[in-house]
Amino acid sequence: MAGHIRWLIVIVLLAIFAVWVALPNTSWINVALSCYDGDKEMPQQGIHLDFNDDCREDFMLNVKQSFGLDIIGGLRVLMQADLPAGSFTVENLSEASNNVARRVNALGVGEATVQVQGTNRILVELPGVTNPQEAVEIIQKTALLEFVDFTGLADSQRYVGRRIITDEQVRIEQSRDVVATEATAEATPAGDGTTAAQDTPLLEPGLPNPNTGQPFRTVMTGAGLQAASAGLDEQGRWIIRFELTTAGGQLFGPFTESAINQPMAIVLDGEVLSAPTIQAKLETGGIITGDFTEDEAKTLALQLRSGALPIPLRVISSETVGATLGQESVNLSIRAGIIGVIIILAFMLINYRVPGIAASLALLMFILLNLAVFKLIPVTLTLPAIVGFLISIGSAVDGNILIFERIREELRRGKSIDDAVTEGFALAWSSIRDSNFSTILISGVLFLFGQTPGASVVSGFAVTLALGMMLNLFTAIIVTRTFLNVLIWLLRRPVQERAWLMGI
């Protein structure tokens, strides 16, 4: 019995936490992290290899429940490749779509739809977006990051905030001009005499290297980055910490080793963000410093870790979409769900009595855990996702029914209550396990299917259903068993004298 009491304490504490997380007013969990080395000061500007010292930041877990486009509305954006037909491949468009999806996910938008339409367009649907202009700018920006050689340059700080031209920009522009010319030649009949309009280049030319009159040399592009995140340094300034890939380190390491105490420019889309001084050989990562605001630092980190768009995108249309279901429909759905749960609880209490009480408590615990997990992951609730959750409630009741019917059989054979309960759970476990695992496997297939363009709503259904099945394994076997054994311990004499209390 001591083991059941310990489990009861754990379940009660877990229930309290789940209630707190599920409450509408609970929107975040804040954990303070600090990593400060008092023996070392961070210079005003520079690139640093050390990520564990001289930093202090707060980790905030957002637990605000998000809803899909069909429930709360949002933003629908249609973008088109800003290049002539034939100057890019379907693979380029697909890669751009994947990068846009990563940026959308980094925005905290769940259940977003990003799909390729035709041969040159991408459709993006963002549920619950409150700042359409900011969202469009983030997902549209090409974000060409360059680490540029400024060695031997006097007064490098005067270039901060100004545009420069690099050999990488020239290479990109020339390659696009070549492809565009070839595409135009194929599309224009011979002897037609017509010429194609010149396309706007990716980046307007900026200042060249004053020492050579040529474009600045790009040491490495953002393709060499493995990760990037925004944070605060010891002085409270916003910075971007980055990590390099193996290939990026092979480029960056030798250069930084040979250019210690020399300036280097961090350039985004041709504009110099900062011109720090190299202070050490950097092979695995470092820090980008500059006069960043919080929003600028987070936006830049988001774009860098999401990857540069292989082709520029132009917004064709952007519209705010109203909720499909509407608030009244949502309220009616919630009311119907509550009524359904009440009917299930009444059925369990009438049919199984004392075990029904344990099952009802376990079912309430199951619902609380699901609601808490939906906010912690987070899971975006759309109509299909809600349906998956309701189906999982039915499966949770199913497991309890299997257990209690087994207990009934053992009691009718003349076994004691304790032995009947033990045997009932042991015999029902294999059926519950196999049934739930089968449903989880099917949910996995549905989730993979939902990754294809235009089918993302299927993913929401699969996720909530799979989560329900996994939580059911815990509530049906651990929670129900604990509640039932505690109730039998408290009502030992009545249940032994009145068999109907055990549903017989």
Main-chain phi, psi angles of 336, to 5 degrees:
-65, -40
Task: Give the model confidence (pLDDT) of 228-252 as tens digits.
Answer: 888 888 888 888 888 888 888 888 8
**378: preceding bond cis by omega (within 30 degrees):** yes
Q: Residue 189 carries which DSSP code?
A: P
Burial (CB count within 10 angstroms: exposed 0-12, middle 13-18, buried 19+), residue 58 = exposed
The answer to whether 316 and 117 are in contact (CB under 8 A) is no
Task: Give the model confidence (pLDDT) of 405-441 as tens digits.
Answer: 999 999 999 899 999 999 999 999 999 999 999 999 9
Structure tokens, 340: 């359904």
Task: Give the model confidence (pLDDT) of 80-106 as tens digits.
Answer: 888 777 778 888 888 788 778 777 766
Does residue 33 have a pLDDT over 50?
Answer: no
Residue with tokens 């900026």: 206
Task: Give the model confidence (pLDDT) of 294-312 as tens digits.
Answer: 888 887 777 666 666 777 7
Tell me the residue length of the chain. 504
For residue 464, give the nearest of 386, 365, 348, 396 by alpha carbon.
386
Q: Residue 415 carries which DSSP code?
A: -
Banded pLDDT at 325 (limits 50, 70, 90): low
Kindly provide the b/e burial profile for residues 22-57, where b requires at least 16 CB atoms within 10 angstroms of the residue's own CB: beeeeeeeeeeeeeeeeeeebeebbbbeebeebbee
Query: Mean pLDDT: which of 118-132, 135-149, 181-195 is highest?
Result: 118-132
User: For residue 499, what are the contacts with CB-CB under 8 A and spacing of at least 6?
Assistant: 411
Task: Give the model confidence (pLDDT) of 337-380 as tens digits.
Answer: 889 889 999 999 999 989 999 999 999 999 999 999 998 887 87
What is the reported pLDDT for 237? 87
Give Cα 302 to chain centroid, integer Å.
12
Q: What is the bridge-based pairing of β-strands 380-381 and 66-67?
A: parallel
The answer to whether 7 and 485 are in contact (CB under 8 A) is no
Please provide the average confidence, as pLDDT, over all residues in the chain.
Answer: 79
The answer to whether 132 and 124 are in contact (CB under 8 A) is no
Intrachain domains 67-141 and 145-189+197-308 with the same fold: no
Q: What is the bridge-based pairing of β-strands 113-117 and 74-81?
A: unpaired
Rg of the Cα trace of the chain?
30
Q: How far is CA 346 from each of CA 340, 341, 352, 370, 407, rounded to the nearest angstrom?
A: 10, 9, 10, 21, 20
The answer to whether 132 and 318 are in contact (CB under 8 A) is yes
Tell me, what amino acid is at 218?
A: T
Q: What pTM was estimated for this model as a whole?
A: 0.59
Write the class of the CATH domain 67-141: alpha beta
Domains of the chain by residue range: 2-25+323-502, 67-141, 145-189+197-308
Write the class of the CATH domain 2-25+323-502: mainly alpha
The answer to whether 488 and 452 are in contact (CB under 8 A) is no
Expressed in angstroms, the distance from the first to the final Cα of the chain is 24
For residue 372, give the nearest of 458, 475, 284, 277 by alpha carbon.
475
* 145-189+197-308 carries CATH number 3.40.50.620: no
Tell me, what amino acid is at 57?
A: E
